[in-house]
Structure 1
Amino acid sequence: MQPGSARPYEVPASIWQRPDMLAALTVRDIGVVFRLVRQYGGLSQTVIGSMTGFSQGKVSAIMNGSQQVTALEVFERLADGLNLPDPARMALGLAPKGVFIPRQDAVAGFITPNAPRTVDLVQRGEDVTGVRRRDFVGLAGAALFSAVIAQPLTDNEQLAGIDDLAAALTEYPIAAGDLPDLGQLATTVAQAKRTYQACRYSEVAASLPSLIRALRIASDSVEGDARIRAHALSAEAHHVAASILLKQEDKGLAWLAADRSVQSAHASSNPLMIGSSARIITHALMDGGHHRVATDMASTAAKRLNAALTQPSPNDLSVYGTLLLRGAVAAAQFGNRHTAAELLDEAEDAGRRLGYDGNHMWTAFGPNNVLCHRVSIALVLGDAGTAIKNARRIDLDALPINERKATVLLDTSRAFLAWGKHDRALHILRAAGEIAPEEITSRPATHRLIHDILTTAPISVRREAREYAESLGVTA
């Protein structure tokens, strides 16, 4: 020990912020944790053992995978010995030493600057049932965020928000006083898009009624280029409204909002806006079970857009690619494997041409988004193994929005459940909750997934599944 030093050895703080370290902590793979500490911290097995209370032989066995750590008290001892900072402790499923208050500017994405940014979707190797156990008193993720940031909305509050949106969609407001400022409306529409993509659904639902009313007044009142701009903004706002309503499984209102988006897009005469609105009407068709019509609409819209492109911009490629992905999902739901594969391959080519995962025209399109849809489509076609294989290829950090990250995590959870791997299905479901709490707390489809895990879980997983389900108000 150096003079004046409180600890004989220290793990560099930067190690705990590494994505691979955070992923290992999240799945409680202590072998990987030890290997990363040795590789990047320069600590020998003997030193690691002295810090954690293990012999050198025990550390070696854990690192090579022949022995595993499953006991909660041992995780606590390891965290204390290695001096894990609070975000790393929380990734390990332990309570933080101090009070954890997210920075205000980080609350928007529900991710703190030092919190886990990636999740190992499909940990390779043998299943470790005990490693999935969590101490719910110190739970990181959805439950902790609900406690620290805000309580989930009650059913009555959620219903009131949807009722306000329903009123806005069906009213024909009359201008009173000054006309709405299009510049301010454009800013508000962009904020609504960002809030939706951050999975803060209750917040965006509350903002939409007044926005939709103002845009309808503007579309009816202004002239010339201003009217075209107002229609384009209205198409985007109604697109967001339809997306929210689809997540709430309100089919009637979702269809109305999607139709309004399409009408406004055509009124704008903007080919990209028309293509973008075709995405949401396709989604509404799929949600209503009209998969063949949805396939035809999406693929036709993609062909029309592609025919008009000579030197496609990133916006063009993104809208074109997402239309192809919508069509592929619809074809899979219709049982048309051949068309689904063709459209996926065309979307993959568009993603390759784009070269990265961006968020042009609010699409989150790119190569990794295509992989996310391969996961979803394999799941629809009943091939859970292929879904998991594709999930292994995804770089979650490359996806630009939380909504897309949460969606692929939930699809992967469903794939593991179909594969009979309940512990992994539950773990990945909870990881989705860390990224996007409202995807877990407010979506009926996610509650059904939790219910399915709970009612079919083996004894080794049942207690954890029951406690998590009860924390969300889901019962068997």
Structure 2
Amino acid sequence: MPEQRDANTTFAQRVRLARDRAGLTRPVAAGLVGRSAEWVKGVETGAIGMPRLPMLIRLATIYECDLGDLTGDERISAATYTKATHTDLPSIKRALTTYRLTPADGEPESAEVLHARVRSAWKLWHGSGGHRSRVAALLPDLLADTQHSARVLDGVERRRALVAQAQAYHLTQLFLAFQPEPELIMLTGDRSMAAAQDADSPRAMAGAAWYMNHVYRDASEAADARVELAEQAASLLRQEDPEDLARWGLLQLAVALSFAKIGKAGLAWRYWDLAQDASRRLGNEYAHPWLIFGKGLVDAYALTIHLDLVQPGKAVEAAASLDLSAVPSATRRSFHMIEAARAYGMQDEGVAAVALLQKAHKTSPETVRFNMHTRMVLPELAKAGPRMVREDARELALALSIST
């Protein structure tokens, strides 16, 4: 029978009690859920809030308890734990799952035209305003046209068309992030890598490896697989070439994030240092036009590494010193502002957290709207945050259609 639930205990206390009853140490529990022992400690001390539903189910499974034994009387709100659905998701899904068994009528577009269209789409993605909606309007035709050209063209032109196709899938994967279609994210990641390999382009494979690394981390796949993929792709690049060096540095950053996710701080910072060195060699003003790799991005991801290593004090220090003006992407700046809000939230500094979420929303509204952390914390801040910002949190939640 389920244990009698004490409504006065916190989520953190209930999780620790469930682990104790299961007879598991923190390191063992961490290994079973694919996180670090520090992450488990963070959950049990309240430094990390209630995780998303898939992780709650995983914890309940390994602790052999009911989900309610962990959540107590706290109701799991659909508005909190489900992902907001973009209105253009059905058209993107149709574009990905429509199989053209015969070549389309008409002449294929040249690789030069395809690359120009892809560059325009990247500018929209990194620009201010409704970046998801703007890119979503382009993606179905862009996917269809890159597929047609890659199928009909020959030789060098075909390979260049495949490189454009890989980037079209990168954009599609980014659109699908935080959408309730995880299998489509895996599909786009796999297709982008297949196109890059078919193009026999080390640069395209490096870009695909960066985006596949995000897929693996979000799916809690084995860190060894993530690291191996990034290092294999990096080994194909020539560091004396600036374009290759940017991708090489980005893949060092991917490895750093993978190690941080599983609590291996030494390895995480070792690879972060390699990424930082690559950004310095490229120059402090450099930023890749669509991968956005540069010193600003490397510095911003130091904050994420501190968060994943459950180092809230260091994360706040990193957030306080972060200069996002060096990141030439409104989308990326907004994301890293949310990460900074996450750091202040871990330190119970709700005023700063709400202010940063407001700033992130002003910078890129759709980034905030479709971010899971934002959707999780705003209801709590609206109800139990510092009194002076509760109304601000409620207004932001209302603007994002999040129930409080």
- 1:410 corresponds, among 332, 338, 341, to 338
Change (3 A) 1:315 1:336: same
Does the 8 Å contact 2:206/2:247 carry over to 1?
A: yes
Distance 1:351 1:359, change over 3 A: closer
Report sequence identity in percent: 28
Moved more, 160-169 or 320-329: 160-169
Instruction: Say whether residues 1:162 and 2:93 are aligned partners.
Output: no
How far off is 1:473 after superposition? Answer: 2.0
- Does structure 2 retain, via aligned residues, the 8 Å contact 1:357–1:364? no
* Cα distance, 1:391–1:294 mapped onto 2, change above 3 Å: farther
1:315 counterpart (243, 246, 253): 243
Quickly say closer, same or farther: Cα 1:160–1:428, change in 2 above 3 A. Answer: closer
**Higher RCO, 1 vs 2 (CA within 8 Å, ≥6 residues apart):** 2
Alignment match, 2:6 = none
Equivalent residue number for residue 261 of structure 1 = 192
Residues 189 and 236 in structure 1, CA contact (< 8 A), matched pair in contact too: yes
Cα-to-partner distance string for 1:71-117 (whole Å, 9 max, x where unaligned)? xxxxxxxxxxxxxxxxxxxxxxxxxxxxxxxxxxxxxxxxxxxxxxx
1:286 matches 2:217: yes
Report what 1:187 is aligned to. Answer: 116
Aligned residue type for 1:168: A
> Which range moves more in the overlay, 391-400 or 254-263?
391-400
| Residues 299-314 of structure 1: pairs in structure 2 closer than 5 A | 299-301=230-232, 303-305=234-236, 308-309=237-238, 312-314=240-242
Name 1:239's counterpart in structure 2. 170
Distance 1:403 1:468 in 2: 18
Aligned to 2:67: none
Instruction: Specify the alignment match of 1:468 in structure 2.
Output: 396
Residue segments in structure 1 that go unaligned for 5+ positions in a row: 1-154
1:234-257 Cα deviation digits (max 9, x unpaired): 011101111111242531101101
Question: Which of these residues, 202, 211, 215, is aligned with residue 271 of structure 1?
Answer: 202
The partner residue of 1:394 within 301, 308, 322 is 322
Contact persistence 1:422–1:457 (CA under 8 A): yes
Q: Secondary structure at the match of 1:176?
A: coil
Shift of 1:373: 0.6
In 2 relative to 1, CA 238–222 (structure 1 residues): closer, same or farther, beyond 3 Å?
same
Structure 2 CA distance, aligned partners of 1:373 and 1:444?
A: 18
Residue matched to 1:223: 154
In structure 2, do the counterparts of structure 1 residues 456 and 339 end up closer, same or farther at CA, with 3 Å as the change threshold? farther
Question: Structure 1 residue 267: deviation in Å?
Answer: 1.0
Mapped partners of 2:114, 2:164: distance in 1: 8
For 1:178, what is the secondary structure of its paired residue? Answer: coil
1:171 equivalenced with 2:98 (yes/no): yes
Contact 1:246 1:284 in 2 (8 A): no
Q: SS at the partner of 1:400?
A: coil
Instruction: Tell me by how many angstroms 1:467 deviates.
Output: 2.7
Give structure 2 stretches of 5+ with no counterpart: 1-81
Q: Given that residues 210 and 254 in structure 2 are in contact (C-alpha distance below 8 angstroms), is that contact kept between their aligned partners in structure 1?
A: yes
Alpha-carbon displacement from aligned partner over 1:197-216 (angstroms, at most 9, x marks no partner): 22601110221011101111
Q: What is the SS of the residue equivalent to 1:392?
A: helix
SS at match of 2:300: helix
Change (3 A) 1:456 1:418: farther
User: What does residue 18 of structure 2 align with?
Assistant: none
Q: CA RMSD in A?
A: 2.1
Map of 1:355 onto structure 2: 283
Task: Measure, in 1, the Cα distance between the counterparts of 2:270 and 2:97.
Answer: 39
Distance 2:294 2:202 in 1: 20
Distance 1:232 1:455 in 2: 48
Separation of aligned partners in 1, 2:298 and 2:349: 25
2:253 to 325, 329, 336: 325
**Secondary structure class of the residue paired with 1:360:** coil
* 1:281, distance to aligned residue in structure 2 (A): 0.9
Alignment of 1:188-203 (within 5 A): 188-198=117-127, 200-203=131-134
Which of residues 304, 329, 346 is equivalent to 2:274? Answer: 346
Aligned residue identity for 2:348: G
Matches of 1:294 and 1:391 in 2, distance apart? 30
The alpha-carbon distance between structure 1 residues 294 and 249, as it changes in their structure 2 partners (threshold 3 A), is farther
Quote the Cα distance in structure 1 between the aligned partners of 2:110 and 2:281. 38
* Contact 2:335–2:368 (CA under 8 A) maintained in structure 1: no
Does the CA contact (< 8 Å) of 2:296 and 2:326 recur in 1?
Answer: yes
Paired residue secondary structure (1:345): helix
Provide the rounded CA distance (Å) in 2 between the counterparts of 1:445 and 1:248.
Answer: 14
One-letter amino acid matched to 2:402? V
Give 1:298 shift: 4.6
Deviation of 1:325 after TM superposition, in Å, equals 1.1
Q: If the length of structure 2 is used for normalisation, what is the TM-score?
A: 0.74
Call closer, same or farther: CA 1:456–1:319 in 2, change over 3 Å: farther
Q: Please show how residues 41-190 of structure 1 align to structure 2 within 5 Å.
A: 159-173=86-100, 174-190=103-119
Say whether residues 1:209 and 2:140 are aligned partners.
Answer: yes
Is 1:366 the counterpart of 2:294? The answer is yes
Alpha-carbon deviation of 1:184? 2.4
Per-residue deviation, 1:363? 1.7
The TM-score with structure 1 as length reference comes to 0.63
- CA drift of 1:302 comes to 5.2
Measure, in 2, the Cα distance between the counterparts of 1:227 and 1:303: 24
On the 8 A contact 2:234/2:251 being kept in 1, the answer is: no
> CA 1:348–1:291 in structure 2 vs 1: closer, same or farther (change >3 Å)?
farther
| Secondary structure of the corresponding residue to residue 183 of structure 1 | helix
Shift in Å at residue 266 of structure 1?
A: 0.7
8 Å CA contact 1:228, 1:269 repeated in 2: yes
> Which letter maps to 1:165?
I
**Cα distance in 2 for residues equivalent to 1:453 and 1:341:** 32
One-letter amino acid matched to 1:244: F
1:394, distance to aligned residue in structure 2 (A): 2.4
1:357–1:399 CA contact under 8 A, matched in 2: no
Aligned partner of 1:21 in structure 2 is none
Are 1:298 and 1:323, in contact at CA under 8 Å, matched by a contact in 2? no
CA distance 1:449–1:439, shift in 2 (3 Å): farther
- CA contact under 8 A between 1:422 and 1:458: conserved in structure 2? yes
